Structure 1
Amino acid sequence: MAKKDKQSSSKVWSVMSLVAVLGAATIAKKGLNTGWKAATGKTPPANPADPDVDLKEAVAWAAVSGALIGLARMYAARRAAGYYARSTGHLPPGLQKGDDEDSGFQP
């Protein structure tokens, strides 16, 4: 792929993945807030680090929200990568085989 095509492809992927991940996180957060209120009868803690928030509640909120938002973001990124691959015929930049070596990634 030509350098200009690769840069353009990289920019398209960056925007596409950003929109997908932010959208997924927003939807997951709204669902979490609703689910938390239904399960506990209280609104979720605005700031779990606040000393006025019960420690058990803060830990539960941090664990549940962190895990579910992380999963939603990962799922959205995978779906966006699949859509990108179907649309272009190849994986997005950074996900193609051999990209790890090009980026200097050291496991």
Structure 2
Amino acid sequence: MADKTEKQDMAWRAIGGLLGLVTAWGAKKAIGFAWEKTTGRKPPVDNESLEISLGEAVGYAVVMGVGMQVTQIVVARTARKRYNAWKAVKDAARDVTT
């Protein structure tokens, strides 16, 4: 039989996975929008295309990589804190009723 902490870890994995997908999608859209507003050009789709300068391709890769990673770190840490707080409240409520 599965341990109670294993069930909670599975819940966090499901929440974390879904949160990761939504965060990546949202960050990509936001960074692409910011890139377009800053440079006046759409983000490079095909970095191997010779129509895109090397500097632009590398610049976009750096901005996208750093932006995505920072976003995922902030969201994951915030979500983990909220999940742990919710779990503590839930456990405290269960202790009061038993």
**Structure 2 length as normaliser, TM-score?**
0.80
What does residue 96 of structure 1 align with? Answer: none
What does residue 9 of structure 2 align with? Answer: 10
What does residue 46 of structure 2 align with? Answer: 47
Structure 2 CA distance for aligned equivalents of residues 83 and 19 of structure 1: 15
What does residue 19 of structure 2 align with? Answer: 20
Question: What one-letter code is carried by the residue in structure 1 that aligns with 2:84?
Answer: A
Please report how far the alpha carbon of residue 3 of structure 1 lies from its aligned counterpart in structure 2 after TM superposition: 4.8
What does residue 80 of structure 2 align with? Answer: 81
Q: Is the 8 A contact 1:29 1:65 kept in 2?
A: yes
Q: Is the 8 A contact 1:21 1:74 kept in 2?
A: no
What does residue 95 of structure 1 align with? Answer: none
Range 46-55 or range 28-37, more displaced: 46-55
Structure with greater helix percent = 2
Range 41-50 or range 80-89, more displaced: 41-50
What does residue 93 of structure 2 align with? Answer: none
Gaps of 5+ in 1: 90-107
Q: Is the 8 A contact 1:48 1:61 kept in 2?
A: no
Is 1:37 the counterpart of 2:36? The answer is: yes
Structure 1 CA distance for aligned equivalents of residues 82 and 3 of structure 2: 22
After superposition, the C-alpha distances for 1:52-77 in whole angstroms (9 at most, x for unaligned) are: 42100011000001001111111111
Structure 2 CA distance for aligned equivalents of residues 9 and 49 of structure 1: 44
Question: What one-letter code is carried by the residue in structure 1 that aligns with 2:71?
Answer: A
Q: Percent identity?
A: 25
Gaps of 5+ in 2: 89-98
Counting matched residue pairs gives: 88
